[in-house]
Amino acid sequence: MLVPRPSVKPHLEPAIATGPKTYEQWRGTTLGHITDILEQQCIVDLMGPVQGRCALDLGCGDGVLTATLAERGARAIGVDADRTMLDVAIARRGRGDRPQYVEGRIETLPFPDSRFDVVVVVTVLCLVTDRTAAIREAARVLRPGGRLVIGELGRWSVWAARRRVRAWLGSTLWRSARFTTATELSRLVERAGLTVEAVRGAVYYPPIFMLARLLAPLDRWLGSRTTAGAAFIAVAAVKEHTNDDR
Ligand SMILES: C[S@@+](CC[C@H](N)C(=O)[O-])C[C@H]1O[C@@H](n2cnc3c(N)ncnc32)[C@H](O)[C@@H]1O
């Protein structure tokens, strides 16, 4: 599951909103590689089968998850506010017409109501000022019966503590990032009219590659039991059918 593994490289703290190069460098470290796989696995588990489905990846960044959705047979569209990230996502796509990428903001999506079967939002809400508007918009473009999966930075983990110390030491990046809990995410999706179906955690080890290697095999088991200590928290919710759309 965790192969192929890149060579051990010096630890680089994952950085959000710092451009595509930083993401690539992070995934190139042992810690980043293991962590990225576990987070994606958590999201993919919660999404369920996407073959033939219309899937939207909001805040898609450099398109790794969007590409996974397309590889799994979804008609995938990635949206991001940052043109440089989208350029990398498009370059990753290579030839062919899947997946598609659109420049836009999560709070005001350029899609009609009920367009998508699946919507995913991974480590984007930590950067968004109005999370309520963002999730309301995600719910709007979801069809009745469709599924929203959110992945976010967990508040009660060693990773979050370390990042908060960095913020305190002057990192503007981490000062502006928001950490969250499963309860907050659940309330957020419920306020948007969705029903929470599952909550998962991932990445329980501290940000040390040797511990990541050692403890990664336990991650999925822990993730289905508790979110306490998880650096990554994910929630899956469905948009219920109403009498009008039956
Ligand atoms: C931490 S990255 C996550 C990228 C990708 N979802 C992943 O997990 O690899 C956050 C992404 O969200 C995008 N983003 C931030 N605020 C946004 C907004 N309001 N609307 C759309 N995209 C946004 C950023 O440009 C960045 O590419």
For ligand 1, whether the C-beta of 77 sits within 6 Å is no
**C-alpha distances in angstroms, 66 versus 37, 70, 90, 119, 132?**
14, 6, 10, 11, 23
pLDDT at 91 over 70: yes
**d(Cα 147, Cα 116) in Å, to the nearest integer?**
9
For ligand 1, whether the C-beta of 128 sits within 6 Å is yes
Token pair of 28 as six digits: 């190139």
pLDDT at 155 over 50: yes
**d(Cα 84, Cα 61) in Å, to the nearest integer?**
9
Q: Which residue has its alpha carbon closest to ligand 1 atom 10?
A: 124
Ligand 1: which of 18, 124, 128 to mutate, most ligand atoms within 8 Å of CB?
Answer: 124
Determine the distance separating the centroid of ligand 1 and the alpha carbon of 219, expressed in angstroms.
25
Determine the distance separating the centroid of ligand 1 and the alpha carbon of 123, expressed in angstroms.
7
- pLDDT grade, residue 171 (50/70/90)? confident
Q: Which of 43, 46, 39 is nearest to 16 (CA)?
A: 39
pLDDT tens digits along 93-116: 866 558 999 999 999 999 999 999
pLDDT tens digits along 175-191: 888 999 999 999 999 99
- 35 within 8 A of 11, measured Cβ to Cβ: no
User: pTM of the prediction?
Assistant: 0.91
For ligand 1, whether the C-beta of 127 sits within 6 Å is yes
Provide the percentage of residues in the chain whose pLDDT is more than 90. 80
Determine the distance separating the centroid of ligand 1 and the alpha carbon of 246, expressed in angstroms.
34
pLDDT at residue 13, rounded to an integer: 45
Determine the distance separating the centroid of ligand 1 and the alpha carbon of 237, expressed in angstroms.
20
For ligand 1, whether the C-beta of 80 sits within 6 Å is yes
Topology of the domain comprising 20-238? Rossmann fold (3.40.50)
Q: Is the dihedral of CA 89, 138, 44, 175 positive or negative?
A: positive
For ligand 1, whether the C-beta of 64 sits within 6 Å is yes
Contacts of 218 (CB under 8 A, 6+ apart): 204
- Residues composing the chain: 246
pLDDT at residue 98, rounded to an integer: 83
pLDDT at residue 107, rounded to an integer: 96
Q: Which of 106, 125, 241 is nearest to 186 (CA)?
A: 125
For ligand 1, whether the C-beta of 20 sits within 6 Å is no
For ligand 1, whether the C-beta of 16 sits within 6 Å is yes
Determine the distance separating the centroid of ligand 1 and the alpha carbon of 139, expressed in angstroms.
18
For ligand 1, whether the C-beta of 59 sits within 6 Å is yes
pLDDT at residue 244, rounded to an integer: 72
pLDDT at residue 41, rounded to an integer: 96
DSSP character at residue 162: H
The three-point CA angle 64-70-72 to 5° equals: 105
